[in-house]
Every structure is written in structure tokens, then in C-alpha cells.
Amino acid sequence: MKNKFINFTKSFFITLCCIGIQIGCQSCEKSDDNTVVPPPVVKPVNVDFYLTKADKSILFTKQQTGISSYVENSLPTINVMSNVAYQEIDGFGYSLTGGSALHINKMSSSARANLLKELFKTDGNNIGVSYLRISIGASDLDAAPFSYNDLPAGETDVNMDKFSISEDQKNLIPVLKEILAINPAIKIMGSPWSPPTWMKTNQNSKGGSLKPEYYDAYAKYFVKYVQAMASEGITIDAITVQNEPLHPGNNPSLLMEAADQAVFVKNHLGPAFETNGIATKIIIYDHNADRTDYPISILNDLDAKKYIDGSAFHLYGGNINDLTKVHTAHPDKNLYFTEQWVGLNEKFEDNLKWHTRELIIGATRNWCKTVLEWNLAADSNLEPHTDGGCTECLGALTIDGNNVTKNVAYYIIAHASKFVRPGSKRINSNNISELPNVAFKTPNGAIVVIVLNNTGVQKTFNINAENEPITTTLDAGAVGTYIW
């Protein structure tokens, strides 16, 4: 029995040794002279990788694993060509509505300071929001409609003697000043939802059109607005002529047809800005991608075009790729993506995928200089809003007192805003349907690539950028930002 055991043990040991030799040799090769060649050395990867997963298990977090140096394979490859550049980026951010400012301003000074630092600084875990859109007068996410020249019925004020931004001085302006103290270079766009009601055909904040006899007065209203904000130390980089000019059913709102907007810009607003030395950009349209004929028709009017910087878009209708039609028709004018809301009852994973694919990637691949989500903040009851305003708009943040909850729009913007700084340029990369992506070169020479796994399964792929190709993996529906 003892001899049988010894023989068995010897046999088992020899077998293990043989297996060990075979396993060890799988990672080695023999040269022609039978010397053992070691496996290739995998170089450390000098690429940062930030990840958000569709199941929320990882939310915009820098990863220590998940990427490796490229070794020849047959996986899909995103090829980045930094020598082929397109539009310059102005920034990524949100609409700072009156309601957003209200909630932020009501926070304790320390809680507010911490939140604004996280939003507008770029170091550490801060996300570096670089562009804001605000309303000129009320939007539908204020508690009630207002303008800067509200008058009793029957009164008018064409000289703007009673113009006042006092309503904005309650919450919006104090918050903007704190933001500017953190990031003095942040760009701010103003958009009106409605003129003063006495200028309108229906004398109401909702719907109606601007009476032609008040075109000059309304142009002066814009001049007064830019000047009043400047007196507060707030530079308005751009204005859109009218938010959603083909949607007069909101509150506030205004119907402004393309032909009327062209007349207003070329004969009134443009000359008023020029006469008063106002450098604020004039941006037309500010509505959905399904009516690219609207901005194109205005830009075709050369007398209007000379005053116009570009066109702004939302995506509640149409296809994001249609924006390139406007660029093709007028390549000397800029494009901006200025609004898209997230609905209260929509799934995180669905919004993460759709907004990243259509806006962060789609809008920038179709020439937009900005991508802005609607809106920055609401409370857990989705208030405030006007009577007739949006009752399901989920903010990027939910703020209840000093308690802040981050929602999907926070992470969507963060994947771009932290790294794709103003002055970055979009550069060429091949788009893969299963892996939509966009690439940028920053002012300091970094390469940033944002990728979405647009499928229902895990995907491993390569990114070939800056002489340091990598292989990486994203779970279904995940978003990755890669920085060289």
C-alpha cells in the first residue's frame, strides 16, 4: 500500500510539473535557437478615464483600471486625427432659470459656496460648467410671468423710462455674481420668453405677436437689458431674439415668424446694438431642428445676416444631423445648442444614452459651439413654474434647502464640461454606430474623446489617439471620457 502511494505521488508531481511548464510557456515563445523570448512588456497608460454606468453603480468617477496599451487586435477602432479641426467650443452647461437661482440663493452661504465651487471650478471633483443661459424677464420656470417693463393696462413706455431689472436682483444677479467670482470667464446667454405685454397683439404673457409699432421700443429694451446687467458687472455674451418663436402655447411665450424676426433684426435690433456700441452677439431662431428653413431664410437676407452671429437649436423635434444643413448653407455663421429638458418620469439609463448620443456627441459633431441642458435646478416638487409652464422638468440638481441631489443631466454635462474647456476645437474621429463618439483638442493640447456604448451588451474597442493607442471596455449604455 505504501509503495502504491509513493508511486502515485511521484506520478502526480510529474504531471503537475508538466502542466506548469505548459502554462508558463503559453506566455513565452522560443526563438530559432531555442532561447525563451519573454512576453511583450505592456507600457503604463498615460490616459485618464472617467466613467458613468447606466445602472448608476459608477457616476462620473475617475477609473484606475479599464484601459490598457493597444496590442494588435481586430476590435473596432476609433481613430482620432487632431490635425483635422472644426468649430471652436464656447462651453457646456445649463439654463440658470429664475427658479434655479431662487433655490440656490436660499441655501446657507456655506452650502451655496460649496455647490457653486463644485459646479464651476475644474479642479478635484468639480465639473467646470463653462456656459450659462438665463432668461430675459421670466421663463416658464419662474414663479410667475414678468418683464422688465410691466405697466398698468393701457400704458406704454417706448423710451424705456420705467425699465428695471429689480426682479433679477432678488436671486439671479446675486447668484451670478458668486459664479463670476469663481469663474470670471464664464459666458452667459440671455433669451426672452416674452416682451412686455403692452407690446403684444394679445396684451398677454402667453402667445400673441410683437406689434410692428413697438419694434424700436423692443430693440431699446434689449439695449437697456445688456447695459443694466453690465452695470452689475455681468457681461451678456449673446442673446437669442426669442425662445421657441414657433411655440406660442407656453407661459410666457411669443409667436415670431421668420420674416418678422428678419425685419426686427435688420431694421431695429442690429442697428440699435451698433448705435449703442453693444458687442453682445445676436443669435436667431432658438427652436427645434425640424425647421432649419427658419434660420436659413433669415441668413439669406444679407441685410439681416450682417448683424447675426449664428443660430440656436433645441431638439424636441427633428433630427440633430439636420443642423449641418444650416452650417452648409452659411458656413460663416455659428451654431449653438441651447436647450433640452429631462422628464421626471424618464429612466436614468435612457436619458444618459439619448442626451449623450444626440447632444454631447450629436450636436457638437453637427457644428454646435455649446450644449446646454434645461435646467440647472428645481426642488423635489419641480417648482417653481408659471401657470402653464413645465410641470415635469427635472433639473440637473434637486435642491431642498441645503440638500442637493444630482440627477442625470448633471452627469451628462460633466462628461464634457470638465475637460472640453472653452477654446477647445472639435477634431476628426470616425463615428461607429455602436460606439458614437466625439473628439476635441483643448487649448493646452490635451486630447479628449467622449464615447457612448450605444448597445445592450458590453463592448471592448480601441481608441487610436496622440501616438498612444489604447484598448478599453464600456458596459452597455455606459459613457466614458478619455483624456490624453
Q: What is the pTM of this model?
A: 0.91
For the chain, give the number of residues.
484
- Sign of the CA dihedral running 275, 278, 279, 281: negative
Parallel/antiparallel/unpaired status of strands 281-288 and 238-240? parallel
Tens-digit pLDDT profile for the chain (484 aa)? 334 333 433 343 333 333 333 333 333 444 444 545 444 444 568 999 999 999 999 999 999 999 999 999 999 999 999 999 999 999 999 999 999 999 999 999 999 999 999 999 999 999 999 999 999 999 999 999 999 999 999 999 999 999 999 999 999 999 999 999 999 999 999 999 999 999 999 999 999 999 999 999 999 999 999 999 999 999 999 999 999 999 999 999 999 999 999 999 999 999 999 999 999 999 999 999 999 999 999 999 999 999 999 999 999 999 999 999 999 999 999 999 999 999 999 999 999 999 999 999 999 999 999 999 999 999 999 999 999 999 999 999 999 999 999 999 999 999 999 999 999 999 999 999 999 999 999 999 999 999 999 999 999 999 999 889 999 999 999 999 999 9
Cα 130 from Cα 120, distance rounded (Å): 7
Query: Which residues have a Cβ under 8 Å from the Cβ of 28 and sit 6 or more positions away?
Result: 36, 37, 38, 39
Q: Which residues of 222-239 are buried (b: 16+ CB within 10 A; e: fewer)?
A: bbbbbebbeebebbbbbb
